[in-house]
Amino acid sequence: MSLLLRAFHSRSTTNANTTTKTTKTSKKRCSSLLSSSSCAFLLLFLLLFLCLSFNLFDDESDDAQIALRRREEERDKEDDDAGGFTTTISSTNGIGDASVRRGKACGNAPKAFLPDDLAVFFDASFSNEEEEEEEETSKNVLEDVDDENEDEPDTFHNHDRRRRRRRQLLISRARAFANRNGLTMPTGCDEKMGFVKHENFGEGAKPRIVFKNEGEKMLKKCVETTKRGEDCVNINAVEAAKGIAKTSGFMTTTTSGGGGSSKKYQYESCALVGNGGSVLRKKFGKYINNHDVIVRFNMAPIGGFEQHVGNRTDVWVNGHEASKRLCCIGSAKMGAHAKDHVMWFPAKQNVIKSACEKRRIKTKALSDREIPGYVAKMNKMRYESRRLGLGKNYDNWLQLTTGAHGLFYFLSKCRRVSVYGFSVWKERNAMGENLDQYGGRKSKVHSGNIFHDWSMETNAWKILHVANVLDVCT
């Protein structure tokens, strides 16, 4: 019995001790849990404080950015009021072809040497002092040219001579349009009479004015303006121009305009340097030289104008008279330095080409297989532009200009085409508006007014520029 009592007492003591230890352990755990809760609360408080602090700083940063953006927009608005075309952060929304045209436009020229609409895609800078120096130099060049080509006094003798010129123009026009197939005139190196076929005859169809969308209305405003602005880069206008270019058959001739065509090109970049007075506006020469191929027209002068038109010539594109000067007479010395010669004129091509080859001038004569395709594209472009209400002053035309022949030809040879001196937008002639050509000629020759439709070609180049088929750089 005593043994049972002892065992029971020992078990009770053990249970009591265990209970005491459990109670102490529970107290420690409670104390630990309490401490952990305090720490967690403290950490939560610190995190909340840090979040609030960062939000506060972010708000301050946002306020600073908004203030900076407002100041930039105010400066841009001042520039716009002053007549310049600059884009703000908000106005860049909807600009087309930014990813395509951000590259080496116009010979990788800096922003100051780009036309207003192309300049919005670039961040290149150019100091105002250098720009002013360029314009001052251009003014001096123009003044020198004007002195050499000053208008003759309005004497009775000169008035009578101008009257005879006008009569000659009317007679020439009557002769040219007497036969819808062509006319007879002196041709070839020997100047013997030959038959010259017309490339085109008539004004073409005149559709009623119809706009398919708002983009076409914006495109019309861009083409009609003398100073290109936001309408010329708006994404809707760009898409409208691409639609017309595609309909007219141009979008298959260039990767940049064709949206990633796999076509292989002979040259990466080509500068087509026309003879217009707009090239005297700035010193474009070094940027023209940046192109892989430089194309010039009708044996235009280079000496004395190198800073404006560059000093290299890879290809001459010539009409009949210029081809005769180059190959029959051999008086155009610069022509011999060109690698190639492209000749257009539908009469006695083989005779002139033979004369060129005797002088070791490699010549490509545009054939009857190529030129009709150019004419078809131009007439489709004429139809579409008339549909937009742009053809009020279009004229009957017989031949594409030398510039048009060269442009059509090289659109199929060059991945990127830069156009200078075609005098497309009038504001680019602001420094030389009295000059038809930078060499000093003030007005077009009468044969050009008879055979060509300058207005139609001007509008065609504008539409192709907006469509990113080519870059009109002056």
Which position has the higher pLDDT, 417 or 71?
Answer: 417
Contacts of residue 447, Cβ cutoff 8 Å, sequence gap at least 6: 172
Which position has the higher pLDDT, 281 or 273?
Answer: 273
Residue 230 has pLDDT above 70, yes or no: yes
Sheet holding 315-318, edge to edge: 363-365, 340-343, 315-318, 293-297, 267-273, 414-420, 471-472
d(CA 377, CA 467): 15
d(CA 448, CA 319): 11
Please compute the mean of the pLDDT values over residues 142-164 and round it to a whole number: 50
pTM of the model: 0.72
Residue 326 has pLDDT above 70, yes or no: yes
Cα dihedral 337, 338, 342, 345 in deg (nearest 10): -30
d(CA 123, CA 406): 32
- The tokens describing 428, both together, are 């680019």
Which position has the higher pLDDT, 320 or 158?
Answer: 320
pLDDT at res. 305: 92
Please compute the mean of the pLDDT values over residues 439-461 and round it to a whole number: 80
3-state secondary structure the chain: CHHHHHHHHHHHHHHHHHHHHHHHHHHHHHHHHHHHHHHHHHHHHHHHHHHHHHHHHHHHHHHHHHHHHHHHHHHHHHHHHCCCCCCCCCCCCCECCHHHHCCCCCCCCCHHHCCHHHHCCCCCCCCHHHHHHHHHHHHHHHHHHHHHCCCCCCCHHHHHHHHHHHHHHHHHHHHHCCCCCEEEEEECCCCEEEEEECCCCCCCCCCCCCCCCHHHHHHHHHHHCCCCCHHHCEHHHHHHHHHHHHHCCCCCCCHHHHCCCCCCCCEEEEEEECCCHHHHHCCCHHHHCCCCEEEEECCCCCCCCHHHHCCCCCEEEECHHHHHHHHHHCCCHHHHHCCEEEECCCCCHHHHHHHHHHCCCCEEECCCCCHHHHHHHHHHHHHHHHHCCCCCCCCCCCCCCHHHHHHHHHHCCEEEEEEECCCCCHHHHCCCCCCCCCCCCCCCCHHHHHHCCHHHHHHHHHHHHHCCCCEECC
Please compute the mean of the pLDDT values over residues 198-225 and round it to a whole number: 93
Q: What mean pLDDT is reported for the chain?
A: 75
Contacts of residue 97, Cβ cutoff 8 Å, sequence gap at least 6: 121, 233, 238, 468
Q: Which residues in 71-98 are b (16+ Cβ under 10 Å) and which e?
A: eeeeebeeebeeeebebbeebeeebbbe
Please compute the mean of the pLDDT values over residues 154-180 and round it to a whole number: 67
Residue 304 has pLDDT above 60, yes or no: yes
Please compute the mean of the pLDDT values over residues 184-208 and round it to a whole number: 91
Which position has the higher pLDDT, 45 or 345?
Answer: 345
d(CA 119, CA 233): 10
Residue 130 has pLDDT above 80, yes or no: no
Residue 357 has pLDDT above 60, yes or no: yes
pLDDT at res. 393: 82
pLDDT at res. 146: 41
- The tokens describing 20, both together, are 């005491």
pLDDT at res. 439: 74
CA 405 vs CA 197, 270, 345: distances in Å: 16, 15, 10
Residue 306 has pLDDT above 80, yes or no: yes
Please compute the mean of the pLDDT values over residues 184-190 and round it to a whole number: 90
Please compute the mean of the pLDDT values over residues 400-410 and round it to a whole number: 96
Classify domain 128-150+204-472 at the CATH class level: alpha beta
Please compute the mean of the pLDDT values over residues 67-87 and round it to a whole number: 49
Which position has the higher pLDDT, 133 or 195?
Answer: 195
Say what percent of the chain tops pLDDT 70: 61
pLDDT at res. 60: 46
- The tokens describing 148, both together, are 């050499």
Q: pLDDT band for 91, please (50, 70, 90 cuts).
A: very low
Which position has the higher pLDDT, 158 or 153?
Answer: 158
CB-based contact 402:271 (threshold 8 Å): no
CB-hemisphere CA count at 13 Å for 202? 8
pLDDT at res. 346: 86
- The gap from C-alpha 127 to its chain's centroid, in whole angstroms, comes to 22
pLDDT at res. 423: 79
Q: pLDDT band for 432, please (50, 70, 90 cuts).
A: very low
Q: pLDDT band for 50, please (50, 70, 90 cuts).
A: low
